[in-house]
């Protein structure tokens, strides 16, 4: 009884809080360092994104390839633009054209009759008529081409200075690629014509090549650069000579 009275009469110490303070939230644990990205276990080399300069080079090469293709297409379109029916007939004839058996090469002097060579060529032959140049020789020969042969006839003319100009006829027409020489530059500043056919001019280091493409054959005039001032006048004198017979 006495103990209970003593307990009830006790007073709390001065300044002692009467309420329990709230618990503070615990701080989160410190973040762990991120682990490095693990490489796959394989023998294959790691794929890396292509460098930017490689993409640029590929784009430049693609553009150059496109320009080259358009230039080649333009050349062949400029060399002949017949209507659709004539173009179809020409393509069919060109596909059927095939020289399988070569002929023996023949050469005659300019003073000789060149008609037998033109007859053996089998298609109209390009020649100069009324020109001040002197015909020095005519040559007929075959050149290997696409598993067969291309038939070629060259007429060589001489200037008074001793330089020579070559007039060539070649069949089939696809063999026009054989008429190129060395490094060439396409000239598109002027229009040219050979015997009524549209032609293109290509400049080499020492000579000028003017190409035309007909139905049966392709034709070329090769003039030295030192004589190019009179080239247009010479082209006006170019005429197709019809052979007596065809083969």
Is the CB of residue 215 less than 8 Å from the CB of residue 197?
no
| Per-range mean pLDDT, top range of 5-9, 153-157, 176-180 | 153-157
28, part of any domain: no
226, part of any domain: yes
Range of the domain at 109: 77-89+91-241
| 3-state class (DSSP) for residue 17 | coil
246, part of any domain: no
Q: Strand locations in the chain, DSSP E?
A: 106-109, 125-128, 134-145, 148-158, 164-171, 185-194, 197-203, 207-213, 218-224, 238-241
Q: Which residue has the higher pLDDT, 200 or 68?
A: 200
The closest alpha carbon to 75, from 168, 177, 182, belongs to 177
38, part of any domain: no
39, part of any domain: no
Name the domain count of the chain. 1
- Give the lowest-confidence range in 31-40, 120-129, 157-166, 228-237: 31-40
- What pLDDT score was predicted for residue 58? 72
201, part of any domain: yes
54, part of any domain: no
pTM of this prediction?
Answer: 0.61
């Amino acid at each position: 009884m006495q103990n209970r009275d003593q307990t009830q009469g006790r007073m709390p110490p001065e300044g002692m809080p009467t309420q329990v303070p709230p618990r503070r939230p615990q701080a989160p644990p410190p973040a762990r360092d991120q682990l490095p990205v693990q490489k796959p276990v394989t023998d294959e080399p790691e794929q890396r994104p292509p460098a930017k300069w490689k993409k640029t080079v590929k784009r430049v090469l693609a553009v150059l390839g496109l320009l080259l293709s358009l230039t080649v297409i333009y050349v062949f379109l400029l060399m002949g633009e017949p209507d659709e029916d004539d173009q179809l007939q020409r393509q069919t004839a060109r596909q059927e054209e095939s020289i399988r058996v070569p002929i023996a090469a023949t050469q005659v002097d300019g003073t000789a009759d060149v008609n037998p060579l033109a007859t053996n060529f089998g298609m109209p032959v390009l020649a100069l008529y009324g020109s001040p140049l002197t015909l020095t020789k005519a040559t007929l020969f075959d050149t290997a081409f696409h598993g067969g042969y291309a038939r070629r006839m060259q007429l060589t003319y001489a200037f008074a200075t001793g330089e020579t100009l070559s007039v060539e006829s070649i069949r089939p027409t696809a063999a026009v690629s054989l008429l190129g020489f060395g490094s060439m530059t396409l000239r598109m500043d002027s229009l040219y014509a050979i015997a009524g056919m549209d032609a293109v001019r290509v400049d080499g280091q020492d000579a000028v090549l003017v190409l035309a493409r007909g139905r049966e054959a392709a034709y070329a005039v090769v003039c030295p650069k030192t004589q190019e001032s009179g080239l247009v006048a010479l082209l006006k004198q170019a005429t197709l000579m019809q052979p007596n017979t065809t083969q």
